[in-house]
Amino acid sequence: MAIPTSTIDTVKDYLVTNITTQINDTSVLVTYDPPGEYQPDDIVVVGDVITWDGTPHAFVGSGGTHWIHEIYRVQVVISVYRGGDNASTTWKRAKALSDSVDVAVRTDPTLGGAVQIAYPATAVFTATWEEAHKGRIVEVRKEIHVEAET
């Protein structure tokens, strides 16, 4: 019997696909890890940081299925830039994208049956000027809490 692997890859794939679908806006870059050279004004980065913890769930002599209860947090970073000094517009766009991430997770808390439960757990909102003071940036660092048995 094969030893199962972590659900992390499946979860990252699910989140990228379903966040992209939920946002439904081709001007927003939803990416698997930090973006490369192409960086539009609205970016959603999925899983650039994942914190994983595992604990024994059920003793199985082979270490097989349902042996490990994995608990991890998938970071999602939303970055919104708007030129000028309209803080409200930048904030509201970042908040709307953050809400879309939450809806993508809450619509199916099993993430397509890959995990027992997933839910939005934390969010830190930071608003600032860009370096040359030519526009506003709002960054949201969210964590999606995930629990699964592997």
Q: What are phi and psi of 11, to 5 degrees?
A: -65, -45
Q: Are 73 and 50 in contact (CB under 8 A)?
A: yes
> Is the pLDDT reported for residue 8 higher than 90?
yes
Q: What is the pLDDT of residue 61?
A: 64
- pLDDT tens digits for 48-74? 999 999 887 766 666 667 678 999 999
Domains of the chain, first to last: 8-149 (3.30.70)
> Is the pLDDT reported for residue 1 higher than 90?
no
Q: What is the pLDDT of residue 15?
A: 98
Q: pTM for the whole thing?
A: 0.91
Q: Are 119 and 109 in contact (CB under 8 A)?
A: yes
